Structure 1
C-alpha cells in the first residue's frame, strides 16, 4: 500500500471515529439517528475511495482531448504521443500532468497541465542521457 493511501485511510478512519463520538453525544436519546448518520458518512468515505480512481481516469481522458486540440493548433506538422502517469501506481505524482513525446525530438519528453477551463501550460521537460546534447559545462552545443 502506498504511503499516501495509508495516510488517507488513517485520516478517514479518524474522521469517522470523531463523527461517531459527536453523533453519539448529540443524539443520546435517539441513538438510531446517530448510527444512521455515522453509517451515511461511512458510505460516503467508501464511495470516495472506490469511485475516485475512475473519476481521475475520466478527467485524464477529457484533458488528453483538450491537449490534443491544443497541440494540433500549435504544432500542425508535428506528430506526437501523449501518455499519462499511472496514478494508481505512482500516487506521489500529479496524475494530470500529461507527457508528450514528439517524433521529431527523440528522447525528449514534455509534460503539460490542462486546467478544467482548458488552459494548457507546459510544466516541465526532460531528456534521457542517451539523447542529451551537452558539452562539459552543461550548455547545449550549437
Structure 2
C-alpha cells in the first residue's frame, strides 16, 4: 500500500503478523533469561533460530506468492486458449494482502466492462468464481459466463 506521498505503508495484516512475531521472539528471549543457567544457552539458540526463521519467512514469502501467481496465470492462459480459442483477453490480479493470489481477473477484448474472476486450484480445476457485469446487467447475460463450480 502507498499513501498520497508515495510512501510505502504496511498492510494491516502484515503489520499484525510482524508485531505478533516480534512480541513472540522478545518473550522467548525474556523467558530464556529467566531459565536456569545450564539451559539458558540452549534457549537463546532456539530464540535466535526462531528469529532467523521468521526473518526468512517474511523475506521469501512475497517472492513465493509472485511465483505462484505467475504459474496460475500460465494455467489460466492455457485454459482460456482451449475454452475461447479465437479471442483475446487481459489477465490481472488484485493487488494487496487482503486479496487471494489464487483469484485472477480476466477481461475479454470483445466484452468490455465485464470482469470474470477465476479461481485456479490446479491445472484440472479452474473455474469462474466471481462475475462483475456492467451496471444493470446480470452475470448470466455475459458471453463468457460459466456456471461451473470448483471442487
Normalising by structure 2, we get a TM-score of 0.75
CA RMSD of aligned residues (A): 2.4
- In structure 2, the partner of 1:48 is 57
Gaps of 5+ in 1: none
The structure 2 residue matched to 1:9, chosen from 18, 23, 26, is: 18
What is the CA–CA distance in structure 2 between the aligned matches of 1:92 and 1:27, rounded to whole Å? Answer: 44
Gaps of 5+ in 2: 1-9, 142-151
Task: Note if contact 1:107-1:127 (Cα within 8 Å) is conserved in structure 2.
Answer: yes
Distance 1:117 1:19, change over 3 A: farther
The structure 2 residue matched to 1:119, chosen from 117, 125, 145, is: 125
Aligned length in residues: 131
The 5 Å alignment of 1:1-142 reads 1-21=10-30, 23-24=32-33, 28-86=37-95, 90-116=96-122, 118-129=124-135, 132-133=136-137
Indicate the larger mover: 111-120 or 75-84: 111-120
What is the CA–CA distance in structure 2 between the aligned matches of 1:104 and 1:53, rounded to whole Å? Answer: 34
CA offset at residue 21 of structure 1?
A: 4.6
Normalising by structure 1, we get a TM-score of 0.79
1:79-109 CA distances to partner (integer Å, 9 max, x unpaired)? 11111122xxx22111221110011111001
Distance 1:116 1:44, change over 3 A: farther
1:4-49 CA distances to partner (integer Å, 9 max, x unpaired)? 1111112212332343355556664142222121111101101111
